[in-house]
Amino acid sequence: MPPIETFYEVMRKQGITRRSFMKYCSLTASALGLGPSFVPQIAHAMETKPRTPVVWVSGLECTCCSESFIRGAHPLAKDVVLSMISLDYNHTLMAAAGHHAEAALEETLEKYKGNYILAVEGNPPLNEDGMFCIIGGRPFLDQLKRAAEGAKAVIAWGACASYGCVQAAKPNPTRATPIHEVITDKPIIRVPGCPPIAEVMTGVITYMLTFDRLPELDRQGRPAMFYGQRIHDKCYRRAHFDAGQFVESWDDENARKGYCLYKMGCKGPTTYNACSTIGWNDGTSFPIQSGHGCIGCSEDGFWDQGSFYNRVTDLTQFGVEANADQIGLAATGVVGAGVAIHAAISALKAAQNRAALREEA
């Protein structure tokens, strides 16, 4: 087998300049919360290490993860990461078609056995022997398991792969199932969100490449550097929450003043993600900035918590009190311990979900 080229070589081949490359390294360092001193380290790794092959498979999904990645990201990050993944297997973009594509996948799996990262978008439906999602005449479940065999780690892109997402909403007609329930013998990094933020996706891949290890994960298996804080903690409307200033109805006077959206059902207080710091579409904005509350799309079960416009008080398992003022007080005290509490709550929720599943079965 010829030596695998480095990422830097690949990027240069794709026409990315040295200057852009260095800029990418510093952007990534800051997105990862690393200081400027890490920039040379990232650059060095990308220049000298053989690139990590990435195999990207899609199951039951809507392609929003790929699209977030391709359309939403800073052009530089997008170019870099596209050049990382494009060489191997990606359903939406690759050149080969039909059974050639399947053959290309098989070849990649063999060639890089034990070395590649498997990135999974979407999830397998288990009902009817997986026949609700068929790829190359076989259930996606088979392709997923086959691709996972030789992977050194698995990335679960988005809420679908991580938790099930809306397609798993009751009654979950196809029994769409998060991938950790079918891949049990590999480390899985969850990058939830519907879709995840592009910069988070590029950051995770670059981190793994640079340091040759998984990023630090929280109890739910999410990279702590991106999912360690709530939207609420860094929300630019937070001051209005603390001051008890709320939007009461869409586009009212308070909305024009940019008051807090808590009463409009914003799930920012219970959602762990980086939207309020990194932003979307190249940092342009994020949902709260558009005057619509957060729907909590990076949280397990966000799709089945009652209406998206209900106030978070309905989520009693979060121990949230009845009114906003109390939440404000509680929240200030909780910030430090947030992650641990959240993890415990989520474990509880998972248990409840399993119980619900058993009831249905």
Partner 1 sequence: MTSRTLLVGPFNRVEGDLEVRLTVEEGRVVAAHVNSPLFRGFEMMLLGKDPRDALTITPRICGICSISQSAAAALALADAAGVTPAPQGALAAAILHGVENLSDHVTHFHLFFMPDFARPAYAGRPWHAQAVARFTAMEGSAARAMTSARAELLHIVGLLGGKWPHTLAIQPGGVTRAPTVRDKIRMATTLRSFRSFLEASLFGGALEDFAALPSLDALMGWSSGDAGLFLRIAADLDLLGLGPGPGRYLSSGGYPTASGTAFARGIWTEGTTAPLDSSAITEDLSHAWMLGPSRHPAQGVTAPDEDMAAPAYSWCKAPRLSGRTMETGALARQVVDGHPLALDLAARSSVLARVAARLLEIARTQILLEQWVAALDSAQPFMAEAPLCDGEGAGLVEAARGTLGHWVRIERGRIAAYQIVAPTTWNFSPRDAGGVPGPVEAALVGAPVGEGEVAPLAVQHIVRSFDPCMVCTVH
Cα distance between residue 266 and residue 259, in whole Å: 12
Judged by CB under 8 A, the chain residues 107 through 126 that form the site for partner 1 are: 125
At its nearest, how many Å lie between partner 1 and the CB of residue 336?
A: 28
At its nearest, how many Å lie between partner 1 and the CB of residue 211?
A: 27
Contact between 351 and partner 1 (CB under 8 A)? no
Per-position DSSP letters for 171-234, written without gaps between them:
T-TT-B--GGGT--SS-EEEE-SSS--HHHHHHHHHHHHHHSSPPPB-TTS-BHHHHSSBGGGG
Query: Interface with partner 1 by CB under 8 A: which range of 25-33, 161-169, 316-324, 328-336?
Result: 161-169
Contact between 99 and partner 1 (CB under 8 A)? yes
Judged by CB under 8 A, the chain residues 225 through 244 that form the site for partner 1 are: none
Give the number of other CB atoms < 10 A from CB of residue 170.
9
Contact between 134 and partner 1 (CB under 8 A)? yes
Contact between 18 and partner 1 (CB under 8 A)? no
Which of 27, 43, 51, 68 touches partner 1 by CB under 8 A? 68
Cα distance between residue 88 and residue 128, in whole Å: 30
Judged by CB under 8 A, the chain residues 309 through 338 that form the site for partner 1 are: 309
Which of 2, 35, 36, 75 touches partner 1 by CB under 8 A? 75
Cα distance between residue 241 and residue 236, in whole Å: 10
Asked if 294 and 266 count as a contact pair (C-beta separation under 8 A), the reply is yes
Task: Fill in the amino acid letter for 89.
Answer: Y
Query: Interface with partner 1 by CB under 8 A: which range of 23-31, 163-171, 216-224, 351-359?
Result: 163-171
At its nearest, how many Å lie between partner 1 and the CB of residue 267?
A: 11
Cα–Cα distances in angstroms (integers) from residue 191 to residues 103, 207, 336, 360, in the given order: 28, 13, 22, 28
Which of 22, 126, 169, 224 touches partner 1 by CB under 8 A? 169
